[in-house]
Structure 1
């Protein structure tokens, strides 16, 4: 049983090496796993399964109680420099922050700018859940053409702040442009997200975005 709903998406720029796309992504995961993914919006049912990334970090899939979510983001690609620039506006659901995100495959870094907090966070790029810009660009084209129907999962990762970064010059042009003049911090992944102390969980913020065939919910926590 499959429902199909069309969502109009137009490129922000038609020429040059940088391409802009408006990605509209709807996501709902229920007991059997309801999946909705955009350019054209498709709905179908898939089984929910656990997953582990290449670094051995446990990635948790949302369960039966997950609400129907709608995620919107603008994506630009600089294919020459292998960079994806993602802008997530104010979400239409609670407990997720608007953000700007840089995935830099030359520097192998990801940077998040949490708009609500006015802070930048930097971590090593997780290539197990983030597609290279050219691959993601081609995936979006194929979705738009209807030649590929991805089975998209909502995946959770938990990151913790470790130290402040005083010099953002060394992080490359794209991250510098986003984070210059803002408090910037380094992150590390927690190998066992469920083992986080309750006290630490009180100071956490979520950012959801689409960067491959998966929607990633990144939880960034500051330890007291």
Structure 2
């Protein structure tokens, strides 16, 4: 039996240590056989230079991201941070009387004493309205309009109907919504805030509507919309139609008592019901 042993001079810990880099391979040495034994290959990678077109693309991309961020931030600010109209707004506003229309109603006035006449007749150059504004309707209370009846207007934009609640007579009137004189909810809300900020240059020209009541009373409140129907629950409801012409007998003392007025953003609308006395007689029987 033959036993093979290592030379005595070879130690267990001896290892072949090769330096990481001894020679650099020149580009001309393409054959590994030409590389000296024991040498280490040093591989070099040539750096790629970024082109001007790539730089411009990256710059445009960065500017686009920043622009989108600014636009998105502005949108979020307008929608969630900036004060917006709530789903239901309640408040009041003082509406200035229109001097020309009011003075022309009295032929005895003197332009030289306009201020004294206003002070004596109106006691205040403004009348007050209370507002409740939602996305689909407007409720306007007018408790103290000069030469007008205490009433409440409800404008239903879903059914295009205006309801007038006669608080004194405990009855309701309905007629088509006149969008020429009634601002939509959002526009009316914005106008009220401008008035709160001191902007009183609003249109207060008086627009008169002569209407007549149609009998009999409406029996189904569902036909006039939920908002008006809820306010008129338990009250007789009458339809109003535009008065075309003709002779109507009525007491002169009830002229102002048969008038409802409101400001809904475009002028002061006066609704004059010419046959209110007939309704009073109708309800007695």
**What's the TM-score, normalizing by structure 1?**
0.68
Give the distance between the partners of 2:226 and 2:95, measured in 1 at CA: 29
State the match for 2:157 in structure 1: 105
Q: Please, which runs of 5 or more residues in structure 2 have no aligned partner? A: 1-83, 108-116, 279-285
**Aligned mate of 1:217, from 242, 246, 270:** 270
The count of corresponding residues between Structure 1 and Structure 2 is 175
Change (3 A) 1:201 1:83: farther
Whether the 8 Å contact between 1:206 and 1:218 is mirrored in structure 2 is yes
Aligned ranges 1:33-182 → 2 under 5 Å: 63=104, 65=106, 68=118, 69=122, 70-79=126-135, 82-89=136-143, 91=144, 93=146, 95-146=147-198, 149-163=201-215, 164-182=217-235
Structure with the higher fraction of residues in strand conformation:
1
Q: CA RMSD in A?
A: 2.6
Q: How far is 1:200 from its partner?
A: 4.5
Whether the 8 Å contact between 1:96 and 1:208 is mirrored in structure 2 is yes
Change (3 A) 1:25 1:150: closer
State the match for 1:4 in structure 2: none
Give the distance between the partners of 2:176 and 2:158, measured in 1 at CA: 11
Give the distance between the partners of 2:150 and 2:175, measured in 1 at CA: 18
State the match for 1:22 in structure 2: 92
Whether the 8 Å contact between 1:165 and 1:186 is mirrored in structure 2 is yes
Give the distance between the partners of 1:87 and 1:171, measured in 2 at CA: 19
Give the distance between the partners of 1:24 and 1:64, measured in 2 at CA: 22
Q: How far is 1:170 from its partner?
A: 2.4
Give the distance between the partners of 1:150 and 1:87, measured in 2 at CA: 19
**What's the TM-score, normalizing by structure 2?**
0.55
**Structure of greater Rg:** 2
Structure with the higher fraction of residues in helix conformation:
2
Change (3 A) 1:221 1:74: same
State the match for 1:183 in structure 2: 236
Whether the 8 Å contact between 2:260 and 2:270 is mirrored in structure 1 is yes
Higher relative contact order (CA 8 A, sep 6+): 1
Give the distance between the partners of 2:199 and 2:250, measured in 1 at CA: 44
Q: How far is 1:207 from its partner?
A: 1.0
Give the distance between the partners of 2:272 and 2:193, measured in 1 at CA: 29
Q: Please, which runs of 5 or more residues in structure 1 have no aligned partner? A: 1-13, 35-61
**Secondary structure in 2 matching 1:96:** coil
Whether the 8 Å contact between 1:201 and 1:221 is mirrored in structure 2 is no
Change (3 A) 1:173 1:119: same
